[in-house]
Structure 1
Amino acid sequence: MAEVATGRRSRITPEREAELYAAVLDLLREVGYDSLTMDAVAARTRSSKATLYRQWGGKAELVVRAMRHGKPERLDAIDTGALRTDLHALVREDDCAMEQNSALIRALAMAMHTNPDLRQAFRDQLIEPEMAAFRSLLQRAVDRGEIRADCPALDFVVHMLAGGFVVRALIEGLPPTQEFLHSYLDAVVLPALGVPTS
């Protein structure tokens, strides 16, 4: 394993870190959060448990970092100059990956209800940074005059988007797809904001 010591905490190369995160996500898909153990991660990645704990502190932190690393695109990197294309850029992930990640997110959402460490790590490292970036994305649209600053739907955009990702699987038993999400954006989210879809 390629590690270089720096003080009390070793540094893992970006390549090794990506390998570890991929293994964590694979294990999560196989066994779920509750059955995932640091022993299993260590065995799968040929790492020592001590290294894993030194780097990430525990299972919740490692899982959230793996989820963050596995995101297809950082929200704060999206700025196409128009809200419609910004929102469509959010769903660029291929359908197979979207299906896997949707199932993973649903499973982790259930685990967060009973695990305060996981819930807090998700809030601190994924939810809050993503919400701040999303508010900036919407503010740019307001600044460009695409959305009225007093549009009542602004407070519900995240809820509408989350619904598109999660509820289709619950109601129809189908994963979200690019086609479904693009249609959903154009039929539901953008009209609610008063944004033209053509």
Structure 2
Amino acid sequence: MLEEYETVSFGGRRRAMRTTDRPTEDRDTARVRRSRLSPERERELYEAVLELLGEVGYDGLTMDAVAARTRSSKATLYRQWKGKPQLVATALRHTKPVLLEGIDTGSLRGDLREIVRCSEQAHERDSGLMRGLAHASHDNPDLHEALRELLIYPEIDALNVLLRRAVDRGEIAPDRPALNYVVHMVCGAFIARPLVEGRQPDQTYLLEYIDAVILPALGAA
């Protein structure tokens, strides 16, 4: 059983957090309490946001355009989300085909391979959007913060839970130094290949990367 408090690693940065009181859960719960939108309606809004992002980019996206595309009022949009940065980050997270929280194959290797398998269908769309958003975030602190808080940190939280299960199963030693750098290794898989080879990381590459880099570093090969 997990202790009431655990240490969570954010890409090498660590902080104590109650397992029953995660910020991502608080944010989601608060949003649900004030939401009057059905899950289907939210999904429709998120898909429209991503369509507009693909058409006009982040700088060209406006809440007016989202309202018009989805036949919503701006008041509704601002009631649900503070503004454009929060709406965009939330749309990216909630249109992912599978969230990491839903993956549990019983082994670390199986979990990592399942992440790759489930993510492949959205990679082409998301990689282009994320490249554009990464560029836009350099000049937009609000977007940068929204992406971290609403998209990146929840994914890191979920990855740490996945790793904690592997530790509990005895697959990884709890003091393994590479545990603090798993996020960096995962990011490296997506960043290095385009820079070094001029090619995007496909499923074959990512599965080989798991076996050749991540698992050996964790002592779980």
TM-score class, shorter-chain normalisation, is: 0.7 to 0.9
Matched, 1:103 2:128: yes
| Equivalent residue for 2:161, pick from 132, 136, 139 | 136
Q: CA deviation at 1:85?
A: 0.5
Question: Aligned to 1:91, which of 112, 116, 120?
Answer: 116
Residue 209 of structure 2 is aligned to residue 190 of structure 1: no
Please state how far the C-alpha of 1:29 moved relative to its aligned partner.
1.7
Percent identity over the alignment is 62
Matches within 5 A, 1:7-22: 11-22=36-47
Consecutive unaligned residues in structure 2, runs of 5 or more: 1-33
Q: How far, CA to CA, are the matches of 1:63 and 1:174 in structure 2?
A: 27
Partner of 2:189: 164
Q: Alpha carbons of 1:166 and 1:32: their partners in 2 closer, same or farther (altered >3 Å)?
A: farther
Mapped pair 1:122 → 2:147: yes
Total equivalences in the alignment: 188
Conserved? CA contact 1:23–1:41, under 8 Å: yes
Q: Does 1:60 align with 2:85?
A: yes
Separation (CA, whole Å) in 2 of partners of 1:56 and 1:36: 15
Gaps of 5+ in 1: 1-8
Judge which range, 169-178 or 41-50, deviates more. Answer: 169-178
Q: Deviation above 6 Å: which 4+ runs of structure 1?
A: none
**Which letter maps to 1:127?**
I
User: For the Cα contact (< 8 Å) 1:95–1:176, is it kept in 2?
Assistant: no
Using the TM superposition, name which of 45-54 and 61-70 deviates more: 45-54
Confirm whether residue 25 of structure 1 aligns to residue 50 of structure 2.
yes
Using the TM superposition, give the Cα deviation of residue 75 of structure 1 relative to its aligned residue in structure 2, in angstroms.
1.3
Query: Match for 2:114: what amino acid?
Result: A
8 Å CA contact 2:112–2:210 kept in 1: the answer is yes
Bigger shift: residues 40-49 or 137-146: 40-49
Higher alpha-carbon deviation: 56-65 or 117-126: 117-126
Q: Distance in 1 between matches of 2:208 and 2:114?
A: 13
**C-alpha distance in structure 2 between counterparts of 1:187 and 1:169, whole Å:** 18
Question: Residues 98 and 119 of structure 2 are in contact (CA less than 8 Å); yes or no, is this contact kept in structure 1?
Answer: no
- 1:174 is aligned to 199
Is the deviation greater in 91-100 or in 31-40?
Answer: 91-100
The residue type paired with residue 114 of structure 1 is D
